[in-house]
Amino acid sequence: MNTGLACRICGSSRLGAHVIAPEMMFGTREEFAYLPCLACGTLQIADFPADMAAHYPPGAYYSFNNAGGLSFLKRAVRRVVAGTMIGRPDRATRGGGVIDRIKRGAEPWTAAVPGLKRSDSVLDVGCGEGARLEALVALGFSDLSGIDPFLPPERAGKTSSGITLMRGELASADRRYDLITMHHSLEHVQEPGRLLEQARDRLAPGGRLLVRIPLLQPWAWERFGTRWAQLDPPRHFYLFTTEAFINLAERSGLACTSHGFDGMGWSIAWSEGYARDIPMNEPNGRANALPFDGGEMAAFEREARRHNAVGEGEAGWFVLEPAAR
């Protein structure tokens, strides 16, 4: 175990006692150790599993993220005033850009990137099979690429809608982009600081990086502990605090120009499920249902919005740009 070593994020040797957390998305209940850094607050997996591919069953993880995630967003946006999901960007960033005038509901994070244009080149890092990029096609974007080390080889190349899908790591991308996005992918990589540096080096002049990650919040940790759904062992290697992530970005040559919170009710609901020892799926592939009715689910949504509003959401977005040298 990584005990006695240093925090991989800030370098401090002040690590707290490890906690043991079970895998609950696929119901294997295999146990993994995580270490809290007492200096920067990051919770990190003690050891990287040797075979991570085994923890991303073919199709299952991405179909969950894409189908479940996207349709959830759409449903949520219908209920929530547009903008709230992405932490209500301030008025200055909400002014009359083209994205503000079109239906921002499909991909609400677009409202967080000031001046984003449909002609901008976009690279999504950790794109899965590209469902989020397809949503951008629907919004009128035309220069879209995605890269993912777990992309099935047969999916690499141009899609019928003109998206370029690449199988591999960001380091192998050989052009620059106006916008690079990481939607809940950074927490899955062993060296997030290095990934941020690679993204910075692939930004076109004036380019921005949008990172969305889960965020470790005291209320969630105290309430759910190792059954907190956003821990998602062993796939999430790092759970950052807002400050720890902004500091990491700065050490990677990036300045944070705005950030906000977009935690969602389904996450609180699944944390409650995990706390009741209900995994999201059984090892045989059968999906479990949560024991909550519509009213209870709506209450989780309202709770998530309350946390977001006071800066304590269990997920957040960050707009970054290269720091002045």
Q: Work out how close the CB of 9 gets to Zn ion at its nearest, in angstroms, rounded to a whole number.
A: 5
In the complex with Zn ion, which residue's Cβ is closer, 7 or 163?
7
In the complex with Zn ion, which residue's Cβ is closer, 148 or 197?
197
Element spanning 269, H or E? helix 265-275
What burial class does residue 288 get, using C-beta atoms within 10 Å of its C-beta: 0-12 exposed, 13-18 middle, 19+ buried?
Answer: middle
Q: Is 10 in the site for Zn ion (CB under 5 A)?
A: yes
In the complex with Zn ion, which residue's Cβ is closer, 113 or 213?
213
Per CB under 5 A, the segment of 4-12, 142-150, 173-181, 293-301 that binds Zn ion is: 4-12
CA of 219: how far to CAs of 13, 62, 124, 225, 261, in Å?
Answer: 25, 28, 31, 10, 15
Q: Quote the CA–CA distance of 48 and 222 in Å, as a whole number.
A: 25
- Binder of Zn ion out of 25, 37, 76, 199 (CB under 5 A): 37
- Binder of Zn ion out of 2, 18, 19, 39 (CB under 5 A): 39
CB 156 within 8 A of CB 166: yes
Which positions ≥6 away from 53 have C-beta within 8 Å? 150
Q: Is 246 in the site for Zn ion (CB under 5 A)?
A: no
- Binder of Zn ion out of 40, 213, 256, 304 (CB under 5 A): 40
Which positions ≥6 away from 154 have C-beta within 8 Å? none
Q: Is 6 in the site for Zn ion (CB under 5 A)?
A: no
Residue count of the chain: 325
Q: Work out how close the CB of 37 gets to Zn ion at its nearest, in angstroms, rounded to a whole number.
A: 3
Phi, psi of 262 (to 5 degrees): -140, 40
Q: Work out how close the CB of 239 gets to Zn ion at its nearest, in angstroms, rounded to a whole number.
A: 12
- Binder of Zn ion out of 7, 85, 125, 320 (CB under 5 A): 7
Q: Work out how close the CB of 91 gets to Zn ion at its nearest, in angstroms, rounded to a whole number.
A: 35
Number of residues that bind Zn ion (CB under 5 A): 8
Element spanning 106, H or E? none
Q: Is 9 in the site for Zn ion (CB under 5 A)?
A: yes
Per CB under 5 A, the segment of 42-50, 131-139, 230-238, 261-269 that binds Zn ion is: 42-50
CB 280 within 8 A of CB 273: yes
Q: Work out how close the CB of 313 gets to Zn ion at its nearest, in angstroms, rounded to a whole number.
A: 21
CB atoms within 10 A of CB 113: 25
Dihedral sign of CA atoms 232, 237, 241, 246 in order = negative
User: How far from chain centre, in Å, is Cα 207?
Assistant: 20
Per CB under 5 A, the segment of 32-40, 140-148, 161-169, 225-233 that binds Zn ion is: 32-40
Q: Work out how close the CB of 123 gets to Zn ion at its nearest, in angstroms, rounded to a whole number.
A: 29
Per CB under 5 A, the segment of 37-45, 169-177, 184-192, 302-310 that binds Zn ion is: 37-45
In the complex with Zn ion, which residue's Cβ is closer, 185 or 241?
241
CB 9 within 8 A of CB 16: no
The order of strands in the sheet holding 31-36 is 19-22, 31-36, 43-45, 238-239
Element spanning 164, H or E? strand 164-167
In the complex with Zn ion, which residue's Cβ is closer, 7 or 127?
7
SS3 77: helix
In the complex with Zn ion, which residue's Cβ is closer, 119 or 190?
190
Q: Is 139 in the site for Zn ion (CB under 5 A)?
A: no
Chain positions contacting Zn ion, by CB under 5 A: 7, 9-10, 12, 37, 39-40, 42
